[in-house]
A and B are shown apart, each in its own frame.
Chain A
């Protein structure tokens, strides 16, 4: 979760935003963090580099909890 949090924070920072609240399993990146497809794609690239897994290989998900599941 920490690494994921760090990565999400980085993406937001690069966009000129910041992480406003702590992430929970139910946080929806699209709805709550304003992520668009390009941000999600970037997330998948960073996660793949960090964990060696393509989190969207089986279809797109946008809830933090779902992403963590896929990383297991």
Chain B
């Protein structure tokens, strides 16, 4: 039975187990050059209790050395005990003492390293008979936190994984329609590439994370996956998954009170959750890590909140604070707009102006004048973009998030 499928190639559970069992040495720092090999090495590292660093496919030796790490050719011996079955491999991995280091996406400046254990990476993993028949569409970068978490969820349950990250849209749609996929987790940007009107009724669970997920996207997901439970996950490389919601409103559960809190609208997380790594001193205060994620409480609620955006999504326009994510959401709510990304552009007169890049739904005709008219009904003048660019497709970062210039 197939375990990993990547385009035209695949590995069965048996083949995967054999490859892992035969490993005598693995790299200390490895990159996903081949989807299957990456996870074979990862599983081998866990089974052998080896510490590893997961790097991006395009990370250079120079970037790596900034973290005091050697080049990619460095290998370490790994002692894999005799494993007689896939289930035994999973057990070894689950109990592994390996330290797994990952890099943040660096979407806001330089990437940072964060170290985790199997425990912190599988904090939200649900392992049970109920999940025996899950088949996953893998839509994240394999070397980043979301991808690793999804891999562990599937791996621990011996579920098949179909790689759709970075694949042409047609291949993704085929995997969802015919690949027997019934679970998926991806970024909002990834989901927006699925044409409106598509329906995949075989999917029973759709997770979204990595970027703020607004009500408009949740609506879109409910239409595309009518039989799915939608899970909106709040996570980061620094502290893995933390909060989950079925809508766009979150609440700090009892179990996390005192460990996760909101101060001045910002989410603060106890450093006990944060993987060892280079935490910038200015982000740590009184035992808490300032995430830079800002929230707005729901009307009249002291406990329910929505994410408002990253600190970096607020820009000063003529003395007023514009929230780029808010403008993006307003744009996406316009009929015919598939996706939008806003960015700030320096301006001598106002300090900054908001600019927008918009991709249209297939067949939709958009005009700047109409878009402005729609926006002015919803947003104050200073938030309205002063430049509009219509593009075929929005650029994504290497972790599949919308690239804001």
Contact = CB atoms under 8 A, between A and B. Distances in A.
Does A associate with B in a complex? yes
A45 B387 contact: yes
A45 B345 contact: yes
Interface stretch (B58-66, B96-104, B307-315, B365-373): B365-373
Contacts of B345: 45
A5 to B, nearest CB: 18
Nearest to A56: B348
A16 B386 contact: no
Interface string A42-58: 10111001000010110
- The interface residues of chain A, by DSSP majority, are classed as helix
A46 to B, nearest CB: 7
Contact of B382 (A13, A38, A44, A56): A38
Nearest to B367: A14
A49 B389 CA distance: 12
Contact of A45 (B353, B368, B373, B384): B353
Contacts of A15: 372
B29 to A, nearest CB: 42
Contact of A42 (B348, B353, B369, B373): B353
A42 B385 CA distance: 9
A26 interface: no
Kindly list the 7 A-B residue pairs having the minimum CB-CB distance in the complex, ordered from nearest. Answer: A42-B386, A56-B348, A41-B349, A41-B350, A41-B347, A56-B349, A41-B353
A69 to B, nearest CB: 16
A38 B348 contact: no
A37 B319 CA distance: 12
A40 B355 CA distance: 15
Contact of B349 (A13, A14, A60): A60
Q: Give the interface centre of A13, A37, A40, A54 by most chain B CB atoms within 10 Å.
A: A37
Contacts of B368: 14
B318 interface: yes
Contacts of B350: 37-38, 41
A46 B318 contact: no
Interface residues of B, number: 17
Interface in A17-50: 37-38, 40-42, 44-46, 49
B55 to A, nearest CB: 37
Contact of A46 (B372, B373, B384, B387): B387
Interface in B375-405: 381-382, 384, 386-387
Given A40-B349, A41-B347, A14 B372 contact: yes
A54 B348 contact: yes
A56 B381 CA distance: 21
B321 to A, nearest CB: 15
A40 B347 CA distance: 10
Nearest to A59: B348
A10 to B, nearest CB: 9
A15 B368 CA distance: 11
Contact of A38 (B318, B369, B387): B318
30 contacts: A13-B369, A14-B368, A14-B369, A14-B372, A15-B372, A16-B369, A16-B373, A37-B318, A37-B350, A38-B318, A38-B350, A38-B381, A40-B349, A41-B347, A41-B350, A41-B353, A42-B386, A44-B347, A45-B345, A45-B347, A45-B353, A45-B355, A45-B386, A45-B387, A46-B387, A56-B347, A56-B348, A56-B349, A60-B348, A60-B349
